[in-house]
Amino acid sequence: MDKNNETILWGRLDKMTELVQQHHSRLEVSEKRTDILKELATRHQDSIDKLTDLTRQIMDVLAPDEPDMDPVEADADALASAGYGTDEDYGGDVERL
């Protein structure tokens, strides 16, 4: 191999080494960001859980006598409340909902 080709190859090898090092640095930064986000999510999960429990307690106080409805019943109830009625309102059978 002549000196000129060897110089070109070493130059390319140096550039590739530099690119790999840059890529590695970016990966480290990305991993640090991921770790920070995981830590924040873990820290705030307790707050989210407490807020969810508090919301349930408030709903129990505001509507203690309302039974839990499945989504279909809730939709039918909402439509009836909005004036659209249900089959039962028009003489149909509730069981068909």
Judge whether 88 lies within some domain. Answer: no
- Judge residue 88's burial from the number of C-beta atoms within 10 Å of its C-beta, 0-12 exposed, 13-18 middle, 19 or more buried: middle
CA angle 36, 34, 24 (to 5 degrees): 120
The number of distinct structural domains making up the chain is: 1
> What is the predicted pLDDT for the residue at 93?
57
| Amino acid symbol at 2 | D
Residue 72 in domain: no
Instruction: Kindly state whether residue 83 falls inside one of the protein's structural domains.
Output: no
Low-confidence ranges of the chain (pLDDT < 70): 1, 64-67, 85-97
Residue 86 is assigned to a structural domain of this protein = no
**What is the per-residue pLDDT for 59?**
82
Domain interval for residue 62: 3-67
- Residue 59 inside a domain? The answer is yes
- Residue 12 in domain: yes
Question: Is residue 85 situated within a structural domain?
Answer: no
Region of 69 please: left (phi>0), alpha (psi -120 to 50) or beta: beta
What does the mean pLDDT of the chain come to? 81
pLDDT at 95: 55
Per-residue confidence (pLDDT) for residue 42, from 0 to 100: 85
